[in-house]
Structure 1
Amino acid sequence: MSTGGAHPDAVWHRALAALLVLVAAWGTVWALLTPAFRSPDEQTHLNSVLRLAYGGGWPAPGEAFVAPVIEAAEREAGWPGDLPGRRTPRPGVPQFVDLQPSVRAERTRIDASNALPALPPGPGAVVDQMSQHPPAWYALGAAVLHATGLVDARWDQALLALRLLDVALLVGTMPFAVAAARRLTGSWPAALVAAPFPLFVPEIGNILGSANNDALVVLACGVVTWLSVRVVTGDTRWRTTVALGLVLGVGLLAKVMPAFAVPGVIAAYALAPWGRPGIRSTRVRTTWWPTTWWPRLARLATAGVLAVAAGGWWWVRNVLTTGAVQPVGRPRDVSGLTPVPADQWFPVSLRRVAQSFWGHLSWLEVWMPWRLVQVASVLLAVIGLVALVRRGARRGAFVLALLPTALTAGVIFNAWQGWSQTQRLVALHGRYVYGAIAALAALVAVGLWQAVGRRERRARVVLPVATALALAAGVVGLVWAFGAFYRGAGESLADAAARWAGWSPVGPTALVVVVGAAAAAGLAALGVVAHAALRRRRPELEPVLPEGPA
């Protein structure tokens, strides 16, 4: 079928755009669906953004405090009432469904008198532990509030703006996942499978549809993932090295998690075919001594120096001044937690990370069924294993797999350190692995490409099927969360919808419009993808694709 002189990739660019709109629409619904402060530490994330927005600076860990506007916002948000989907209701804590929503127009507005805490802090002042992190995301959030004129709006409007900022950062990550997958497969339909990956994980919607500093980490690690894939497939140019170091450093100004991308960067240079820089080649033999040893080390050293200069200095300074990579912002009392026996700490840790990766909504209180978590985890592992063991893109798949593996191991090791002192397990949350969203999405795309025998025709069938499954999973996750957040026992859907509208920062008409637009975006994306993947082509024009690096 003739393309009428259009660029041969134009149809795939339209499909990618449609899938990105779908991810944006899905994330926006999550941003409106999740009740205020129903993701970990959202209150203090908002508090720290407002502190920067109003010139309060970035105090040392333990010396930042919660402002009066946050205390008022918690009351007006029904915090900490138990959600109807909570696994175990707490004695003496009010039920969220029994609380009367605050009047939207009367919610507290932010201003200079309430955006900063009293100094010195009075008795009972609550510590804002977020100053244990670098301020990059918070400064970005403050800039967004100033740019949108919401710096002196109602607190719920400012919170929604920060949530949408995180959705935008997530959407911005997915093109890098697609680009990495296409670099490894040479196939547009195979690569586009990566784009709707977030829809399969309800917890991603809950976390990255809320206000927190994880989203900037997700984007930075997504860019590093793409650049690492370029390196392992032969792009050993100095400008790629410089970009790797700078992006990694910027990510380190958000959180320490991008440091776990370093093993993947090292592996990329170690496994890269050393031919003509920038040219992807499957025929270049990797030689080790002495032809390529010094160039690899030189590039790694350059990337490392740039990463430290751009952002890693924050963590070096922490070690030199406090003796810890990340100082404790607010000590946690773990005496009320149940001790974990020595023979159980690892399986319990693994289970908690898996559970909270897929679906542990709010403050780890609404649980996805464990059987579903097991099935999803096994499927993800099997697809990744296929990408790793089959010839054609094994080096690239190995580089992709290192980031989620390193992040998971880091989370569990950190929990073990705490357990070794207290016999309690804390800080186990799958959201810490979300820096690997792009890597996981690309790994899934490569695994499915390998599973269909690297056949373009078969990949064209897989793409619309995967998109339809992602769309269905996204809808099911939202429906589950809607009930868990707003629907009490024996209540109708109408009762739950009215409660959602009552607590929302926008009115019921806006909610209907957003949900309707999201549904339209989903159907449109499915249609555009199906048209791109299944359009008729003459057999003689079917491309013969390279296998890619082994």
Structure 2
Amino acid sequence: MSARRGAARAGGTLAERRSTLAVITVCWGLVLVLWAVLTPMYGAPDEPAHVDSAIRLQGEHTWPAPGSAHYLSGVRHSINDEIALPAADRSTFGELLTANPGYSKVVDQMTQHPPLYYAVAGLVLKAIHFESLRWDLVVTALRLFDVLLVLPLPLLVWATVRRLTRSPKLAVLGAMGLFAVPQLQQIAASVTNDAPMMLLGGGLTWLVARYLTGAQRWRDVVAIGVVLGVMLLTKGTGLPAVPFVAVGMLIAAPIVDRWGRRILHAFVALAVALVLGGWWWLRNLYLYHDFQPSGLADVHPTAVWPPGKGPDPGVFLTNVWNGVPASFWGKFGLLRYPMLNVVTDTLTVLAVGIVIAFAFRRGVNRRTALALAVMPTVTLALLLFNIWRIFDRTARIYGTQGRYFYVAIVALLALSVIAWSAAVTSERMRRLAARVVTIGAPALTLYGLSVEYRGAFEKSYLAVDYDGLYTWAYSTPVGPEGIVLVLALVAVALVLTIIRTTRAALERPRPDLPREARPAVV
């Protein structure tokens, strides 16, 4: 048994950090459960469409062309006629589908995506016998399924940062960064195809980080290709992962310094991904002459610009700035309840500014930082291109949503850790920065939860009154007892997480441990 492993099993500092990771993961899961309970039914972006597509696919086993699928009438009835009912008075999905057969006139745009997520969600629906359950219980079950999908995110962030920096302290702080993005938490705890993309994007980032640091066997190459292929068969936000894989494998520090071997590795990984999921996008190009045809093209008709006029770049950039950063950090309730602009603007400028200024400086992590930056950078470029294209065609601006970056959340957090570790050099400032992360990130979570609660149940007033609490208690499927239980568990978990992570980030190496068993210094 190595000294490091022996120290871990004996309860040394490394073991403490492993237990800290477990505490973070449990707290992360409980916070997501609270979001699933707090968010009103169908209160997250596109949630009704995701539910409708899962039900339709498991029942009919067909996937119509983009723009040709329509909501099931039963699902529309739950949205239009039962959303305001107390939970106990809502119908089962079986009752809704029987009483409201067929389809509505409303387009369900989700067939613009590949069907993999909806097929898996359909299996969940069958497993719980969804037709015999109230529809709000079914929505909650699908939300909790997504919570399970994203539960490993703290582990993936920790493992990626630990691999790249060799610092368990930085790894713990990186995992705590998930608590600084409340909007990510709400999206992850809703019914959405973004949930598997967060998991897959995080897993791919970890695999590429391993490749960058020497794990370059053929099984590593195939694993990268498999995960990338599944991403491509899940959602178009996986497309920026293609250049991420290519660049990451080509610029990795090689075990054997031969360009030919790295090129071969990249080719094999991309070929595996093409066979598993890339074919879907080539199919779209062949059938529709577009990588991802819009499912709402007919709903957003083409506009005719007056002679001499066209899309205004100033209007475009203003809308992008007002929409993307705010909806990345926290713009809840179908984008109706935003966090304060001063908060989201400050977080955006600070996060982006530090990365640009410090992440790419010449040094041991420069190559790694360049690779990590590929996926979010390409995501931004494609997002801007698509928003501008729609603006030019419809004279309206759609799609300014920061959640499209969540597929790269592990890469973003790892890149931020690299930048901040280069920016903060003195021991005193590092200890201060660690406290800011371990306390400030959970504080942002609580702030986001308060914004959602006040928006959904208090008409955005800074208040907690009987009417708001009553509405929440009897509109959620878990009832008042369930709310109290979840709130209590989250409160305890947050306190324990703050204490454990602060101790882990600030502790010093034990002098009685062998040198190789001591944790790396931040």
What is the TM-score normalised by the length of structure 1? 0.85
Residue 116 of structure 1: how far off its partner (Å): 11
Amino acid of the residue matched to residue 114 of structure 1?
L
Could you say which residue in structure 2 is the equivalent of 1:213? 193
Amino acid of the residue matched to residue 160 of structure 1?
T
- How big is the alpha-carbon RMSD for the aligned residues of Structure 1 and Structure 2? 3.0
Could you say which residue in structure 2 is the equivalent of 1:157? 137
Could you say which residue in structure 2 is the equivalent of 1:524? 496
Could you say which residue in structure 2 is the equivalent of 1:24? 29
Could you say which residue in structure 2 is the equivalent of 1:81? none
Q: Does structure 1 conserve the Cα–Cα contact (< 8 Å) formed by 2:182 and 2:329?
A: yes
Distance 1:388 1:413 in 2: 25
Could you say which residue in structure 2 is the equivalent of 1:72? 77
Where in structure 2 are the equivalents of 1:143-222 lying within 5 Å? 143-222=123-202
Where in structure 2 are the equivalents of 1:22-61 lying within 5 Å? 22-61=27-66
Q: Does structure 1 conserve the Cα–Cα contact (< 8 Å) formed by 2:246 and 2:266?
A: yes
Of the three residues 442, 446, 453, the one matched with 2:425 is 453
Residue 540 of structure 1: how far off its partner (Å): 7.0
Distance 1:493 1:337 in 2: 49
Could you say which residue in structure 1 is the equivalent of 2:3? none
The total of aligned residue pairs comes to 508
Could you say which residue in structure 2 is the equivalent of 1:266? 246
Residue 507 of structure 1: how far off its partner (Å): 0.7
Where in structure 2 are the equivalents of 1:336-355 lying within 5 Å? 341-355=312-326
Structure 2: 5+ residue stretches without partners: 1-5
Distance 2:390 2:35 in 1: 33
Structure 1: 5+ residue stretches without partners: 79-100, 277-286
Residue 492 of structure 1: how far off its partner (Å): 4.5
Could you say which residue in structure 1 is the equivalent of 2:97? 114
Residue 148 of structure 1: how far off its partner (Å): 3.6
Q: Secondary structure at the match of 1:164?
A: helix
Distance 2:59 2:96 in 1: 10
Q: 1:223 to 1:491 in 2, by over 3 A?
A: closer
Could you say which residue in structure 1 is the equivalent of 2:220? 240
Could you say which residue in structure 2 is the equivalent of 1:128? 108
Q: CA offsets per residue over residues 459-483 of structure 1, 9 Å max, x none? A: 6775454122111111111112110
Q: CA offsets per residue over residues 92-144 of structure 1, 9 Å max, x none? A: xxxxxxxxx4132221102287189855x5xx522212112111111121222
Distance 2:512 2:322 in 1: 51
Residue 366 of structure 1: how far off its partner (Å): 2.1
Q: Does structure 1 conserve the Cα–Cα contact (< 8 Å) formed by 2:457 and 2:469?
A: yes
Amino acid of the residue matched to residue 170 of structure 1?
V
Of the three residues 279, 289, 302, the one matched with 1:323 is 289
Distance 2:96 2:505 in 1: 57
Distance 2:521 2:99 in 1: 58
Q: Secondary structure at the match of 1:66?
A: strand
Q: 1:454 to 1:211 in 2, by over 3 A?
A: farther
Distance 2:48 2:335 in 1: 16
Q: CA offsets per residue over residues 488-518 of structure 1, 9 Å max, x none? A: 3596422211111122122111011011111
- Do structure 1's residue 494 and structure 2's residue 499 form an aligned pair? no
- Do structure 1's residue 370 and structure 2's residue 341 form an aligned pair? yes
- Do structure 1's residue 505 and structure 2's residue 492 form an aligned pair? no
Residue 458 of structure 1: how far off its partner (Å): 7.5
Greater helix percent: which structure? Answer: 2
Q: Secondary structure at the match of 2:175?
A: coil
Of the three residues 361, 372, 377, the one matched with 2:332 is 361
457-466 or 492-501, which deviates more: 457-466
Distance 1:169 1:51 in 2: 22
Q: 1:343 to 1:166 in 2, by over 3 A?
A: same
393-402 or 164-173, which deviates more: 164-173
Q: 1:323 to 1:115 in 2, by over 3 A?
A: farther
Residue 315 of structure 1: how far off its partner (Å): 1.1
Amino acid of the residue matched to residue 182 of structure 2?
P
Q: CA offsets per residue over residues 175-217 of structure 1, 9 Å max, x none? A: 2221111111101110111212232122212322211111111
Could you say which residue in structure 2 is the equivalent of 1:256? 236
Q: CA offsets per residue over residues 39-76 of structure 1, 9 Å max, x none? A: 22111110111122334432222332211321221135
Q: Secondary structure at the match of 2:174?
A: coil
Of the three residues 455, 477, 482, the one matched with 1:484 is 455
Residue 322 of structure 1: how far off its partner (Å): 1.9
Q: Percent identity?
A: 33
- Do structure 1's residue 466 and structure 2's residue 446 form an aligned pair? no
523-532 or 101-110, which deviates more: 523-532
Could you say which residue in structure 2 is the equivalent of 1:98? none
Q: Secondary structure at the match of 1:125?
A: strand
Q: Does structure 2 conserve the Cα–Cα contact (< 8 Å) formed by 1:51 and 1:116?
A: no
Q: Does structure 2 conserve the Cα–Cα contact (< 8 Å) formed by 1:68 and 1:116?
A: no
Could you say which residue in structure 1 is the equivalent of 2:265? 299
Distance 2:521 2:208 in 1: 19
Amino acid of the residue matched to residue 202 of structure 1?
P
